[in-house]
Structure 1
Amino acid sequence: MSGLRMSRLRMTGDRWGDVATYLLLGVLGVFFALPFAWLLSLAVRTPAEVYLGAARFIPQAPTLDNFALILSDPAFLTYLWNGLKLSAAGATLAVLLAIPAAYAASRLDFKGKNAILVGILAVQMISPLVILVPLYRWMVALDLLNRDLSVIAVYGALGMPLAVWLLKVTFDAIPKDLEEAAAIDGASRLTTLLRITLPLARPGIASAFILAMVTNWSQFLIPFILLERDGDWPISVAIFNFAGSTSASTTQVLAAACIVAVLPAVAVFVALQRMIVSALVVGAVKG
């Protein structure tokens, strides 16, 4: 009976622990959602209702005219395209650089492998602020200032460490027997990687690409420093000057622009979060 009682007490404790965890997550969710909700409230207001401030959270006469205004502005669409182009290209470069490094770390045994992997991960913790001044001088010396290639190269370098670790976990989960069977049939390691391993690693590759692209989408300092022409800026930089470039440079227009700028990254992450999480834990499940 005592064992049964202890089991019930343990289950009750676990249940209350789950309740406390969900309550904490709910509070954090509300804390981070409130600024976005307030921004949305401003974005659907008329100019007259903006001056009501916090007196009315839900607008009395919500309108989508602010969104129509910014989406009809050619400059804003150019900023969106620049952001999409730079983010996607930088994420692609990060994944392409990470694939051979992650595959080598997963399949080959060599001296100092763990130290190298830790060093790669440590690079991820370095703030872009630390390298901005030497990076700017280096880009000037290479005549890469005000070129998309400079931003894409930096995006790729910053996104590669996380992609290496994510793809290593993905490669670890793929049975080596498949590659050994291909080697017996005469396939080279490169052929095995391209025809067997990479197709099986598509979820992990897609997850690494998405995480890198979402990170690039929100970058501000790098494109702000390396791109000086207004027409080359991505939306993360241009959003601060966008209100002054519209015919109605008001608070609600800027709020609508911020919503449109943030929404793609949020929508992609929410829609594909299960795939990303599954790719992150696949190695642990295998172990």
Structure 2
Amino acid sequence: MSQPAMINRYRWYELVGIYAGIFVFLSFILSPFVEGFLVSLKPLGLLFSSPYRFWPEDGSFEAYRTMWVSVPGFARYIFNSFFISTIVTAVVLVLVVPSAYAFARFKFRGSGALLAAFLAVNMFSGAVLLIPLFRLMRSLGVLNTYFAMIVPGVAFLIPSGIWLLRTYMMRIPRELDEAAFVDGASHFYTLRRVILPIAMPGITVVAITTFIGSYAQQFIFALTFNSKTEYMPLPIGLYAYFGRQEVIWNELMAASFVGIAPAVILIFLMQRYLVAGLTAGAVKQ
């Protein structure tokens, strides 16, 4: 007599409760995005009409066309944000990977205090450090360049990347390092050929969080360190829809969805490698 599969261990009312909870959770998470998309479809004159209507009767994608006219060069803003975030992510990974390996594998004097200092950096708002950073950028001669936003982005995102990747590397068995050392491998060779392939899921998580963080925090740095339009990122382009008399909400929402589309696509593609890395080795050969 065949036994029921272990995966069918929930009763029907338990499944109903689980899926109901998932539905409520997703409703709270996705409702702002749904409402923002519906606002982008509504004519500007009907946004604040009464009574409120969830689905626009005269909805259209006109705002997705006129937004390019309202803010000329909007594609340049998107490119700048994508370019800055990509460079910041690459630099952060180059610096974070060996640093996280060192903190995870080696015990040296002051390592705990240094990790605490890294964590304390994230407690400071970027606005607190604007004046010192401005003087530093001016002394380096990088104002009104991409570097004026890349350097602060790297500095603020390295600490969180080290903490995330260090925790992941600490779960990798030390016996792998010891076996490599017995075979005569150096620390750098062990990191490159042994640890990195196993740590790819953690590195992917750090890359995704770094890219999102860099994509989102460019507004205050751009306003302070840049005055040239050709170097301005996406948040500055979105800010242009805030006029003195009114805010063009439908075009602002349309521009927001268009602006985040490249980041969403990139993150979606990287998640495939993340899932593949997490499931690697789960099945015996």
Q: CA deviation at 1:29?
A: 5.8
Alignment partner of 1:205 is 2:173: no
CA spacing shift, 1:238–1:188, aligned 2, 3 Å:
same
Match of residue 237 from structure 1: 236
Residue identity opposite 1:145 in structure 2: L
Match of residue 36 from structure 2: 39
Q: CA deviation at 1:184?
A: 2.1
- Equivalent-residue separation in structure 2 for 1:276 and 1:188 (angstroms): 28
- Equivalent-residue separation in structure 2 for 1:78 and 1:51 (angstroms): 31
Q: Please tell me whether the aligned partners of residues 105 and 168 of structure 1 are also in contact (alpha carbons under 8 angstroms).
A: yes
- Taking structure 2 as the reference length, the TM-score comes to 0.78
Alignment partner of 1:56 is 2:70: no
Match for residue 163 of structure 2 among 157, 162, 165: 165
Match of residue 94 from structure 2: 96
5+ residue gaps, structure 2, are 1-13, 279-285
Give the alignment of 1:1-287 within 5 angstroms.
30=27, 33-50=30-47, 52=49, 55-70=52-67, 75-219=73-217, 220-242=219-241, 250-265=248-263
Q: Please tell me whether the aligned partners of residues 230 and 238 of structure 1 are also in contact (alpha carbons under 8 angstroms).
A: no
- Greater helix percent: which structure? 1
Q: Please tell me whether the aligned partners of residues 243 and 253 of structure 1 are also in contact (alpha carbons under 8 angstroms).
A: no
Task: State the Cα deviation string for residues 17-55 of structure 1 (Å, max 9, x = none).
Answer: xx79x86x9777655644433321210123453453662
- Equivalent-residue separation in structure 2 for 1:136 and 1:171 (angstroms): 36
- Equivalent-residue separation in structure 2 for 1:154 and 1:48 (angstroms): 41
> Identity of paired residues, percent?
30
Aligned residue pairs total 262
- Equivalent-residue separation in structure 1 for 2:127 and 2:182 (angstroms): 50
- Equivalent-residue separation in structure 2 for 1:127 and 1:146 (angstroms): 22
Q: CA deviation at 1:192?
A: 1.5
Q: CA deviation at 1:237?
A: 1.8
Q: Which moved more, 1:100-109 or 1:170-179?
A: 170-179
Task: State the Cα deviation string for residues 71-101 of structure 1 (Å, max 9, x = none).
Answer: 6876111111100011111122122111121
Q: CA deviation at 1:269?
A: 5.9
Q: CA deviation at 1:257?
A: 0.7
Q: Which moved more, 1:169-178 or 1:231-240?
A: 169-178
Q: Please tell me whether the aligned partners of residues 91 and 213 of structure 1 are also in contact (alpha carbons under 8 angstroms).
A: yes
Residue identity opposite 1:152 in structure 2: I
Q: Please tell me whether the aligned partners of residues 94 and 155 of structure 1 are also in contact (alpha carbons under 8 angstroms).
A: no
- Equivalent-residue separation in structure 1 for 2:101 and 2:50 (angstroms): 55
- Equivalent-residue separation in structure 1 for 2:84 and 2:51 (angstroms): 37
5+ residue gaps, structure 1, are 1-14, 281-287
- Equivalent-residue separation in structure 1 for 2:242 and 2:118 (angstroms): 40
CA RMSD of aligned residues (A): 3.4
- Taking structure 1 as the reference length, the TM-score comes to 0.77
